[in-house]
Amino acid sequence: MTTNAALSGLGDNPSRKEILRHWEPENAAFWERYGKRIANQNLAVSTWALVLSFVVWTLWATIAAKLNTVGFHFSDEQIFTLAALPGLVGATGRLFYTYLPGLLGGKTSTLITTALLLLPIIGLGNALQDTTTSYDTFVLLVAFIGIAGANFSASMANIGFFFPKANKGLALGINAGVGNLGVSLIYLTAPLLLGWNLSSVFGDGLLNAHGDMVYLQNVCYFWAVPTVITLALIALFMDNLPLPQQSPKSILAIFGNKHTWLMCWIYTCGFGSFIGFSAALVLLVAKEFPDVSFSMAAFLGPFIGAGVRPLGGWLADKMGSGSRVTLLSLFLMLGASLVTLMGIQAHNFMLFFGSFLVLFLTTGFINGASFRMIPYIFNNPFHASLVTGFTAAIAAYGAFLIPKIFGWAYASFQSVAPAFYILIGFTLITIVITWYFYDRKSSGLNC
């Protein structure tokens, strides 16, 4: 017999369905006896599914720079536009995917959104084997990859409900931080897959300008295998909780608050830069430093940015101020941006790449610290949750805007410098916003 009255709805040996129907993570007895194991199980599978989503979302960035070397004929602007499209679709999709767990259940929504990843990666694998594939075809297929980026909002909206308040921060930090590492994982594995002769399984490769065979389709087809395995894990080990139904109209409550838009701006400078630089870095190196063998080092930036994200939140807690950590990180970002531009103009790869790694480092600190600010700015937990999801959606447009700005700069000025001037200006404005509204003593907010 249970000794806690709150567990009276459960028998001595309740089924998993009965436990889920009576989900009470704030009840210590329930949590220790039933909840913790189920919650951690769902977190583990959800986190891996999110890693996979980030892999697929940024997969195209590892392929785009190779297209014209194996017989495709696209302009710089077309290449950068293709690199930007997954970000546009993913960011827009996040605005809607936030509601999927409430409508379908966490397990069902994760199963569907993960299964959808198979369509674009298999389609792209086919298209990449034929150099006559049209630009319009690639636009459709690459845009479809963007749905992987929307999975973040559905995943974050679901997993928090499994945990008590005292554990939500850590659980969401693991889900988001480890999930972001998918960007680093695709950059780490893509160079190996591009040169791996799997023609008996995935089809023949294409000759590049140096006479070497390149297997672009491997990067797509290979990830279909873990996607299928992940679907089995979701079906076996995830659960549908009775989540609160959220109407899209409920989000209107946050639009009249200026802090919603200010936090969107700040988080875009952090996560938008992280995902945008991740999407454009390989193309930028190929354009500015064509003689540098960069493929095996491309994973370092995203790995650093994702890895220090939890540290940014922890440091904000230790200092008692997310705004202070964010502000200091923004100043470092500004300096790193200036040095990165100097490295490009001096054609000094080590200066360029070293400062770019610092840029990724600063995005991680900003992401962790700025997300810590939101619950302190919005006292209503429901509004704080809505703002968190909305800022994550808006910031994801960085994956579209940064590659697009780079492409525009090259097309209009034959130089990437104007793009960096825009990004530096954006960072300066973010510094002013963070200091004036949140970090100065008379701001009225301690976040």
pLDDT in tens, 123-151: 999 999 999 999 999 999 999 999 999 99
The rounded distance, in Å, linking the Cα atoms of 420 and 433 is 20
Query: Tokens for 345?
Result: 């103009």
- pLDDT for 4 beyond 60: no
pLDDT tens profile 269-298:
999 999 999 888 888 998 999 888 877 788
Average pLDDT over residues 19-48: 93
pLDDT at 381: 65
pLDDT at 3: 46
Residues of the chain with CATH 1.20.1250.20: 24-242, 252-447
Helix 273-288 to helix 300-307 angle, to the nearest 10 degrees?
Answer: 160
Query: Tokens for 420?
Result: 């960096």
The rounded distance, in Å, linking the Cα atoms of 59 and 442 is 45
The rounded distance, in Å, linking the Cα atoms of 305 and 275 is 9
User: Would you say 39 and 163 are in contact if contact means Cβ atoms under 8 Å apart?
Assistant: yes
In terms of Cα–Cα distance, which of 377, 312, 403, 412 is closest to 91? 403
Taking domain 252-447, whether its CATH number is 1.10.3720.10 is answered by no
Q: What percent of the chain has pLDDT over 70?
A: 95
pLDDT tens profile 243-253:
766 566 666 77
One DSSP character per residue, 263-324 reads HHHHHIIIIIHHHHHHHHHHHHHHHH-TTS--GGGTTHHHHHHHHTHHHHHHHHHHHT-HHH
Residue 166 burial class via C-beta count within 10 angstroms: exposed 0-12, middle 13-18, buried 19 and up? exposed
Question: With the C-alpha atoms ordered 109, 224, 40, 361, is the resulting torsion angle positive or negative?
Answer: negative
Residue 135 burial class via C-beta count within 10 angstroms: exposed 0-12, middle 13-18, buried 19 and up? middle
User: What kind and span of H or E run contains 165?
Assistant: helix 165-194
Whether pTM exceeds 0.85? no
Question: With the C-alpha atoms ordered 419, 421, 423, 426, is the resulting torsion angle positive or negative?
Answer: negative
pLDDT tens profile 196-235:
888 777 878 887 877 788 899 999 999 999 999 999 999 9
Total residues belonging to the chain: 447
One DSSP character per residue, 383-442 reads HHHHHHHHHHHHHTTHHHHHHHHHHHHHHHHSSSHHHHHHHHHHHHHHHHHHIIIIISGG
DSSP 270: I
Taking domain 24-242, whether its CATH number is 1.20.1250.20 is answered by yes
Which residues share a beta bridge with 206? 214
Query: Tokens for 330?
Result: 């923004």
- pLDDT for 52 beyond 80: yes
Q: Which residues contact 33 (CB under 8 A, 6 or more apart)?
A: 2, 7
